[in-house]
Amino acid sequence: MCKVAAVTGGSRGIGFGIVKQFASEGYKVGILDINAEEDYRKNLDQLDAMGAEYFYMQGDTREQKDREAFVAMLVERFGGIDVLVNNAGVAPKVRMDLLDMTEESFDRVVGTNLKGTMFMSQLVAKQMLKQPMKGSKRGTIVNIGSASATVSSSNRCEYCVAKAGVVMLTNVFAERLAGDGIMVHEIRPGVIDTDMTKVVHEKYTKLIAEGQFPIARWGTPEDVASVVSLVCDDRYVYTTGNYIDVDGGFHIRRL
């Protein structure tokens, strides 16, 4: 059965990996991203080369009018939404000690990573509720969280706090929507090689070499995308409100 996926921040990094994965499985995909389409031409050309059925919309997940336009376009172009992946996220522009963190940075990071996820889910859930059940599910919402939800970094408090909020968002949406056949999951990446982690590439490469990660390599967008695809599968129907670490085993406490 052909499905429709909405992926925020889907034009590069982890989001683009997810879009490619869905496209390869025959999903129709809508991408909402904050920058101009031309900025991502190289990646979008890859989708064209795959014969993917998709559209790109420029918009900001923090803005209700952009969220509404995105959902309206998904319905108009593809007739509904089966999967939402709340992937759009930002790190602080500057990593700053908690005691110096600015309100502006807090608003930007929490606004994108938490508020955007909250209200995009609210809107898409309402759309999914208008749609019939497909088999034993009506839809799936996947939140891209982070190991930072539980690992404290006092030089990027706003990021950790926002991702901790995503943990509870996943739970409350899962609880509210389970009876309607909408499953909600959190995927929790560790360190993934993308533009976001460029600034700390050297630091994390060293940590990997020192054995901090049981699977001793950088994660890739494809590593995350394949797990996102798994939880959207029609066989995944009696599980909701959970998270899966995609972090090379980083979460394992060791002596």
Ligand X SMILES: NC(=O)c1ccc[n+]([C@@H]2O[C@H](COP(=O)([O-])OP(=O)(O)OC[C@H]3O[C@@H](n4cnc5c(N)ncnc54)[C@H](O)[C@@H]3O)[C@@H](O)[C@H]2O)c1
Q: Which helix (H) or strand (E) holds 223?
A: helix 221-232
- Single out the residue of 20, 62, 137, 156 in contact with ligand X (rule: CB under 6 A): 62
Q: Name the residue nearer to ligand X (CB basis): 3 or 12.
A: 12
CA distance 122 to 226: 25
The nearer residue to ligand X, 112 or 140, going by C-beta atoms, is 112
Per CB under 6 A, the list member of 24, 35, 64, 136 interacting with ligand X is: 35
How many C-beta atoms lie closer than 10 Å to residue 18's C-beta? 32
Q: Give the tokens for residue 119.
A: 């209200």
- How many residues line the site for ligand X (CB under 6 A)? 30
DSSP state of 192: B
Minimum CB separation of residue 9 from ligand X in Å reads 3
Through-space distance between the first and last CA atoms of the chain, rounded to whole angstroms: 47
- With binding defined as CB under 6 A, does residue 88 bind ligand X? yes
Strand partners, 242: 185
**Residue from 29, 22, 35 nearest 195 by CA:** 35
CB of 11 to ligand X, least distance (A): 5
Tokens of 234: 């029609």
Q: How far apart are CB 207 and ligand X at their closest, in Å?
A: 12
If binding is defined by CB under 6 A, does position 30 make contact with ligand X? no
**What are the structure tokens assigned to 15, written together?**
């989001």
Q: Single out the residue of 193, 220, 30, 8 nearest to residue 114, CA to CA.
A: 8
Q: Among residues 23 and 90, whose Cβ is nearest to ligand X?
A: 90
Q: Which of 8, 21, 140, 240 binds ligand X (CB under 6 A)?
A: 8
Q: Shortest Cβ distance from residue 109 to ligand X (Å)?
A: 9
- Catalytic residue (choose from 40, 56, 159, 243): 159
165 binds ligand X (CB under 6 A): no
The binding track of 190-229 with respect to ligand X, each residue x by CB under 6 A or -, is -xx-xxxx--------------------------------
* Of 12 and 20, CB closest to ligand X: 12
What is 121-187 written as a DSSP string?
HHHHHHHHHHSPPBTTBSEEEEEE--GGGTS--TT-HHHHHHHHHHHHHHHHHHHHHGGGTEEEEEE
User: Could you tell me the smallest distance in angstroms from the CB atom of residue 1 to ligand X?
Assistant: 28
Taken as a whole, the chain contains a residue count of: 255
In terms of CB distance, is 140 or 181 closer to ligand X? 140
- For the chain, the 3-state helix, strand and coil shares in percent, each to the nearest 5, are 50, 15, 35
**Residue 56 catalytic?**
no
Smallest separation, CB 62 to ligand X (Å): 5
- Residues carrying an active site annotation: 159
What are the residues binding ligand X (CB under 6 A)?
8-9, 11-15, 32-35, 60-62, 87-90, 112-113, 116, 144, 146, 189, 191-192, 194-197
